[in-house]
Amino acid sequence: MARQARDARPGRTYHLVQRGHDRAEIFRDDQDRKAYLESFLQAALGFGLRVHAYCLLKSEAHWLVTPQRADSMADVVQQVGRSYVRRFNSRWSRQGTLWEGRYRAYWIDEPTFGLTVQRAIEWLPVREGLAIRPVDWRWSSLGAHLGQGPEPRLTPLPSYWALGNTPFEREAQYPAVIDQGVTDGAWESIRKGLASGKPWATEETMASLPVEERARWVRRPRGRPLKAAFADAP
């Protein structure tokens, strides 16, 4: 059966994840993380992918992005695959694929859930046991959002931008956002989104989608539909 075409619409915000094959490490040290980060951010600039947040773990890389073209995400991932994987394999004397398969992504109702997903991405090092506090992990966008290490290639999320009228106001407000943590319900919604590709959106947003797109996300009964002859049988 052919794989379902990816949902990748310009102007929507997506949580995108790359994972190692069989959950193997895609970063063995900070030098790997630095090379991958540079590769991804430079490709994003070239292919029209706005990057809002990120976190590099051991076997996963999480990104919060908004494509400007339908193929922006795919082009960036392909470019990173060519440049970073070649370097990684050469450096560690290995061969073969590095990734789990196709990247995973789902779109987010940004005004409602965008800042929640950004916060969750920046909390991942704590959840994975890599840091005691989110701020202790240097390989995420948190430092930039707190004003500790500006990254000009990041584009503020609209809901982050709404925290204040100036960069200083937003940076001053963001610690309170991070300190809220992430609820179990939010983690579960993120898990489902990555597993299924289904949007994390309000009922109102889903109801406002065009009929043909809304039908894509409606759960259909398994198996073949009953024939009329059987449906009418006593």
Domain housing 46: 13-200
| Amino acid 228: pLDDT | 42
Answer yes or no: is 225 within a domain: no
Answer yes or no: is 128 within a domain: yes
| Amino acid 4: pLDDT | 54
The two structure tokens encoding residue 191: 């898990």
Answer yes or no: is 160 within a domain: yes
| Amino acid 65: pLDDT | 98
| Amino acid 1: pLDDT | 39
Spans of the chain, pLDDT less than 50: 1-2, 226-234
CATH of the domain at 180: 3.30.70.1290
Answer yes or no: is 217 within a domain: no
Answer yes or no: is 56 within a domain: yes
Answer yes or no: is 206 within a domain: no
Q: Count each helix (H run) and each strand (E run) in the chain, helices first.
A: 10, 4
Amino acid 118 reads: Q
Question: Residues of 97-136 as b/e, b for ≥16 C-beta within 10 angstroms?
Answer: ebbbeebbbbbbbbeebbbbbbbbbbbbbbeeeebeebbe
Domain count of the chain?
1
State pTM to two decimals: 0.90
| Amino acid 232: pLDDT | 44
pLDDT per residue as tens digits for the range 105-129: 999 999 999 999 999 999 999 999 9
Answer yes or no: is 25 within a domain: yes
CB 121 within 8 A of CB 64: yes
17 CB contacts (<8 Å, ≥6 apart)?
Answer: 60, 61, 62, 63, 103, 104, 105, 194
Half-sphere exposure of 129 (CA within 13 A, CB side): 0
Q: Are strands 49-56 and 104-108 parallel, antiparallel or unpaired?
A: unpaired
Answer yes or no: is 71 within a domain: yes
